[in-house]
Structure 1
Amino acid sequence: MSLKKLACVGDSITFGYEIPEENKWTKLLEEKLKIEVLNFGINGDTTNGMLSRFNKVLEEHPTHILITGGTNDLWYGLKDEEIVANINAMVRHAKHENIECFVGIPIPFLNLNEPNLVDEDYAECVRSFQARLIKFCRLKELPYIDFSKGMKKQHFMNDGLHPNILGQEIMVNSAEKVLKNWF
């Protein structure tokens, strides 16, 4: 293992919901890049929750941080601006500590008939947020990983939200393409 350490902060997509440890994309990334990868994903977490526990992430002294979140926020009806503001706050905090930061663009939601808790088209909210987050990353010149690239129906569990083992492989490949230049 190198001296570089990547902390991945996020929700169930980062955590690897219902995936065996050895098949989680974060574990696979650790093996591929030969770096230490810390998984700070929590099932059901929002960017508010991620921001409130960000100091615990920093206590692990990562050299790099990957922030991926927002889909649970959207489920509860939060607007893109608030979610991006939370991500920006984490990025700024990491940069203040001289930690290189990456942003993960969330995967899509494939259950096209399910509204969120405030009766909005959840799949459309996710699509709109993905575009907004990419625009934010480009504006701030932040490297980002688009986890939605290559994700198809067969890469998801039956809920249409969480990646299955095949989806974990797609995610690790997306991450490796960007991160191999940094490690």
Structure 2
Amino acid sequence: MHIASQACFPLAYGAARALRNCAMALVFATTAAAAEPQTLVALGDSLTAGYGLPPEEGFVPQLQNWLNAKGKDVTIINAGVSGDTTAGGLARLDWSLTPETDAMIVNLGGNDLLRGLDPASSRANLDAILSKASERDLPVLLVGLEAPSNYGPAFKQAFDAMYPELAEQYGADLDTNFFAPLTAELDIAAARQKYLQADGIHPSAEGVAVIVEAIGPQVEKLLERAAD
């Protein structure tokens, strides 16, 4: 605004020239502000961190490249920590969200699921994360997972429901199941063979590419929300 304020003073140039300079300065300032890159924080566990993959083939780098190819001027902060639970994500949320943060992806709950933690506890942690994001007026894309049936129907119902219900409560965008794109055209056995690493849990580089292609448009919409 320093440039604009100088141009708006008539001084000896006359009122007409001052108005022209003022208008040009305001346009320049608005354009410069609009051109500022966005910052997107990806808060998650090993699925976000890129466990088992070369650094350039993980979820965040592949999503970064996808968005760059779409002309998006955004920097994604990889706030994924392998082994983290929803409680761990909540514990480090405050320092993960830098002042420059414009939007956030939340992809947590997989380790809660693997450990059989009470879905009520997982839900409370995600609730707190979304609440803090809401306090900062940050748009969020909440990425869900689905519990297998071997945990029992009550566990599965509670776990699966927490993502859409919290997204609706906080007005967050929702990706219902991180792994769903892998079985869009293949059965589970074939998808596991083609798209997962040897551990049968984490996606391979090819699997990540399929996931990014599916989730990318939702991230684009998230960034558009953040720019409004």
Same structural fold, with TM-score higher than 0.5 when normalized by the shorter chain? yes
1:116 match: none
2:195 match: 155
Give, in whole Å, the separation in 1 of the partners of 2:93 and 2:86: 10
Q: TM-score, normalised by structure 2?
A: 0.67
Paired residues of 1:6 and 1:64 also in contact (CA < 8 A)? yes
Give, in whole Å, the separation in 2 of the partners of 1:127 and 1:168: 27
Give, in whole Å, the separation in 2 of the partners of 1:36 and 1:107: 29
Give, in whole Å, the separation in 2 of the partners of 1:127 and 1:147: 17
**Would you identify which runs of 4 or more consecutive aligned residues in structure 1 move more than 4 Å?**
124-128
Letter in 2 for 1:47: T
SS of 1:180's equivalent in the other structure is: helix
Q: Which runs of 5+ in 1 are unaligned?
A: 113-119
SS of 2:105's equivalent in the other structure is: strand
The alignment-based identity, stated in percent, is: 23
1:82 and 2:116 matched: no
1:181 and 2:221 matched: yes
More helix by share: 2
Letter in 2 for 1:134: P
Q: TM-score, normalised by structure 1?
A: 0.82
Map 1:27-106 to 2 at 5 A: 27-34=61-68, 35-59=74-98, 61-106=100-145
Higher RCO structure (Cα 8 Å, ≥6 apart): 1
The structure that has the greater radius of gyration is: 2
Give, in whole Å, the separation in 1 of the partners of 2:211 and 2:147: 12
Letter in 2 for 1:147: F
Q: Could you say if the C-alpha distance between residues 18 and 101 of structure 1 is closer, same or farther in structure 2, counting changes exceeding 3 Å?
A: same
Paired residues of 2:144 and 2:163 also in contact (CA < 8 A)? yes
Shift in Å, 1:126: 6.8
Shift in Å, 1:170: 1.7
Letter in 1 for 2:181: G
The alignment yields a C-alpha RMSD, in angstroms, of 2.5
Q: Which runs of 5+ in 2 are unaligned?
A: 1-34, 69-73, 183-190, 224-228
| Equivalences, count | 173
